[in-house]
Structure 1
Amino acid sequence: MEEISRMGEIYEQAALTISAARAKAVNEGFLQTRHIPGERGFRIPYLCQDGEIGSAIFWKGRDPGFWDPIHQRAWCLQESILSPRVLEFGTHNTRWHCVRHCTQNRNEDSSPEFDGWIGDSRIFTRHHMSSRLVQGMDWAALKDPDVFTGTWQSLIMHYTCRGIGYQEDRLLAISAIARKMGHIAKKKYMAGLWQEDLALIMWKPSDTKHSHNNGEIRPRTYVAPSWLWASIGRAVEFPNTTLMHGLKMMDVEIKTRIPSDEFSAVASATLTIHTLAVPCRFKHASTTLWSHDLQRKLEIFAEFDLGDQYVLDVQDDGEGVLAWISAEGGLVLKKHADGVSCSRVGIFSEHFGFDQSECDRKETEVVII
């Protein structure tokens, strides 16, 4: 685990990283002749202006949503972003990419050099992945808080689309990037989030169909606290959120597997916030939320982290809390038996008829684990 914490340093100090992007397994190899079954190409003669006979090649290239095997793996994102130079042997082409050249010459055409056809992936378009991130991150720009938050959101949305062998590695496999980002921007890391960016707890499961992450929705072993995107084994996205006035982080306690390393795997974590909240009640075998005060259904739009499977997580009627994060909505929390701590189970929006005048919101401290 201590060697994992040094991965960023290893990649950054490498003269060259050779990426076996086309290999699906370590024993497959990547230097064989490129051949993709079902893809066809043909050449036709072409008369050039100087009278010489040239040729035009017509070829049906890869699907725009195609990912090379290595780009489907969460652990491999760090090497592509942190390595100064990458020679990538892909399924359709071989690419040479110098990150330092890209970052130093952003006003020029600094696309990777390649020996074949390259197309833009719908995955990157879907998750707003700019060439600035894919072709070398502009580290200096991260000192701008808005750039930092936007970059981290894009990074996580793309990262969580990738598959990972062990869900316990969800935080470890991106820790090297987080370590460098935090060092440059002078931000405090909080197990996958940042202390100054509470809006990041308003993530939600993504409905993207282009994800290679097929992990369990809620991993059986402890991976991360419920308020963190890493607590579910699926792709996530971040809605536009403006923090509510008066929302405060009161305390955060995080214990990592390596006590001296805040970027290590998380053993336990607790987040305490001060915000406006309303008590609610879960009904058995239903995703409906009921009001304590009104004794009727709350007219809100709730999106549960487990989707329709959430009813399996509620054996009996139970108490919950609606905690506002923005002016438009916040977290749906389920209270634990101790009556104090809560677990996040989803997010809600009050755009669908929630009547604030009928249900009084009160300032309170909420403890989330």
Structure 2
Amino acid sequence: MNDEGYLRPVVLHKLQRSENARIEALCPGARVEHGPNAVPRDPLWGPLVRSRTGAATDGAVRRQGSSGGVISALAIFLLESKKVDFVAQIAASTSDPLANELQLSYSAEDVLRAAGSRYGPSAPLRQMRELLGSGKRFAFVGKPCDVAALRRYMQTDPAISQQIPYLLSFICAGVPSLEGTHKVIEKLGADRTQLASFRYRGDGWPGMARAVQQDGQVFEMDYSTSWGTILNRHLQFRCKICPDGTGEFADVTCADAWYGKDGYPDFAERDGRSMVLSRSEAGEALVREAVAAGAITVEDLGVGEIAKMQPYQAERKKMVLGRVMATRLALGFAPRYRRLGLWRSSLMVSPLAWLKNAGGTYRRIHRSLKTT
């Protein structure tokens, strides 16, 4: 964890050229691309076999999840149907309420402990060699960038795909720094040195940010305030030029299927509802099997309705080509993106808006360079 509250790799020795080449080939910070034979891709939403809305049928799972609990319900279904030995997913640290750690879930109780969003730095791939060395089959739940990295890694060895048959992801607006979490706790009026637990949301939809101190005091803040006015101001720059906030490389991606109000998502508390995007044949089969087993309920969703539920993601995909071009112009380098539909997406917005967005990125980079 660096001084700004982001997780960063530590260089232990000078890297050889071959090591650098391997990092650049696998890391989504350097390269993100679909293969030429991927499932037919929507320019905004990536590979799509079928789009739906849905929810977990178990009331506790639905309530504890950040939306309709479908990711948690799928994880529990995979465990109880013996399709995997465990699920690798992020949960709150058992030693530090503000930290995230990789949890290996073997039961429904484990999955429920990890339910709910964790809007802070996490590194779920750091133990991947150890997990693969176990020889056990497992499902992986991670941010879109985590899944993109793991998918590329799986392509280097077909045996890995057999060991990790399912990759699950969620729609992500970016990773806030730990400093963002500190600001939320400060706004709540809680003492972060005395916390017994902290959750960003969940236990309802969208649920409250909730800090519980060791003396029993409880502090809460609604989602619109915690995310909308604090956390989203602390996103790392790479997230702002991300072409894949929607988990395009997963087998199944889930998200908040927000109800609309005046053209914007309505964050009023109600029973949770997930968006469920199956992106591969394996993912579609999993969703169908979970429905047949009674783990989740679903309804078809027209692709044109996705942008109404996730307008931020639609706008970001339309603008990201301009942002990454501005980054390359300002810094001399930028991540390389291929087969992500960025040119087609950029044509969905007016040229003036696109240029203004790109120009804003360029100016922000230059201001940042002047202050460092």
Q: TM-score, normalised by structure 2?
A: 0.28
Structure showing greater Rg: 1
Tell me which of the two structures has the higher relative contact order, counting C-alpha pairs closer than 8 angstroms and 6 or more residues apart: 2
Higher helix proportion: 2
Higher strand proportion: 1
Q: TM-score, normalised by structure 1?
A: 0.28
